[in-house]
Structure 1
């Protein structure tokens, strides 16, 4: 257990993401739900825990969650927690492993601190901003992470131009952490997302030395009045300039 009064923001984020992940595994193991009903139950249960815990631990901070009615009062706050209780609800409901829990903190619009839990992996895993490891050696051919069901046209085009390989995967958090873990080199997304889909993953990826930006190269900003955030690029830094150049050439 941790004391929220003495824990750092990163410690708090990691602890809450891990506990929420265990809760979600328990909901799934209960056998009471399946498919879409399981996803809905997991979302509701994890969201209740995360929002209650964050409001208790950091009462002066703002909060934005995918599963909560948005209180735009957060827009006037410097510190805002941005959470996704189940990133990859479909994958969670299908009993797959490629889903995640996101607990991120944006300070003055920048994804600064956070944790991404991957409870579906054997033994579970939490990647966090305060425990950054050296990036693994990249593959000789760049691997591009794309959606299982609707790969982004830009990602397919850039992958082809770079002689790369497409790797389908579930949630945004799972894909971003796959780059951190060395399972791929590039995550290029342009199919539409929201702030909760990427805040914690971007914070963790940046802490590990990865390039994080919009696909036009501009910074990713959080705690906007409209949380829609349609695109992003998370990749190894040595690939960033070439990927951004190729994306720009598609216009």
Structure 2
């Protein structure tokens, strides 16, 4: 009931619970969440929570299993800890700057593929159109999952060779997954090959690539060709 649909109500309920618990534990941290009106207070502190209460809304609405909670801590622009939890699968991915990336407590490793051609990449059809690739659209096998955070975790555990999105990406969708994928051996940058910066004023990245080193270098070259 009310003015919000059930998904928004679920988003808000999860957001409120997480904010209450996390900010009580670390009141000096800032807060950046999809479901909290943003303000500049977070820019004045060194450390922030970056949270997406429910990532993969369409999957959640459809009763599918591939939606996730995404929680990260960023310190001076870098993510230092991240958790992505998929309740319907009871699957959890974790990493920190001092701990190995894990899925359900078992160490994970990104794909070792050395070529972009033929790689199995999590992305949307809209990302693979010629106008986005001045150096030529790579021939890949395209796969998809609704949650951006989950896509990054699947790249981190090597079930796919990587993921990419060429749309602007909100920090709360990618913060936890970026650290998990990077710690697992993927190269994680924006679409121009630049490092991701978190707790930025606009809270967005210019696309995201999470790929093994060789395919990443080729993707950046194709995306930035003159």
- Scaled by the length of structure 2, what TM-score is found? 0.84
- Whether the 8 Å CA contact 1:111–1:222 is kept in 2: the answer is yes
Deviations 1:170-205 (A, max 9, x none): 110111111112221121111222111111111111
Deviation at 1:58, TM superposition (A): 0.7
User: Unaligned stretches of 5+ in structure 2?
Assistant: 102-106
The answer to whether structure 1 residue 180 and structure 2 residue 156 are counterparts is yes
Deviation at 1:94, TM superposition (A): 1.0
Deviations 1:135-159 (A, max 9, x none): 2655793111113xx631369859x
The CA distance in 1 between the partners of 2:111 and 2:165, in whole Å, is 23
Question: What SS does structure 1 have at the residue aligned with 2:152?
Answer: helix
Deviation at 1:229, TM superposition (A): 2.3
Deviations 1:91-116 (A, max 9, x none): 11111122111100111011221111
1:236 equivalent in structure 2: 212
- Whether the 8 Å CA contact 1:39–1:90 is kept in 2: the answer is no
1:151 equivalent in structure 2: 126
The CA distance in 2 between the partners of 1:120 and 1:138, in whole Å, is 29
Of Structure 1 and Structure 2, the greater helix share is in 1
Deviations 1:16-62 (A, max 9, x none): xxxxxxxxxxxxxxxx9xxx833212201110111111111111111
The CA distance in 1 between the partners of 2:133 and 2:63, in whole Å, is 31
- Whether the 8 Å CA contact 1:210–1:237 is kept in 2: the answer is yes
- Whether the 8 Å CA contact 2:56–2:146 is kept in 1: the answer is yes
Closer, same or farther: CA 137–187 of 1 in aligned 2, 3 Å: closer
The answer to whether structure 1 residue 81 and structure 2 residue 55 are counterparts is no
Which of 111, 128, 131 is the matching residue for 2:79? 111
Of Structure 1 and Structure 2, the greater strand share is in 2
The answer to whether structure 1 residue 201 and structure 2 residue 177 are counterparts is yes
The CA distance in 1 between the partners of 2:129 and 2:80, in whole Å, is 27
CA RMSD of aligned residues (A): 2.4
- Scaled by the length of structure 1, what TM-score is found? 0.76
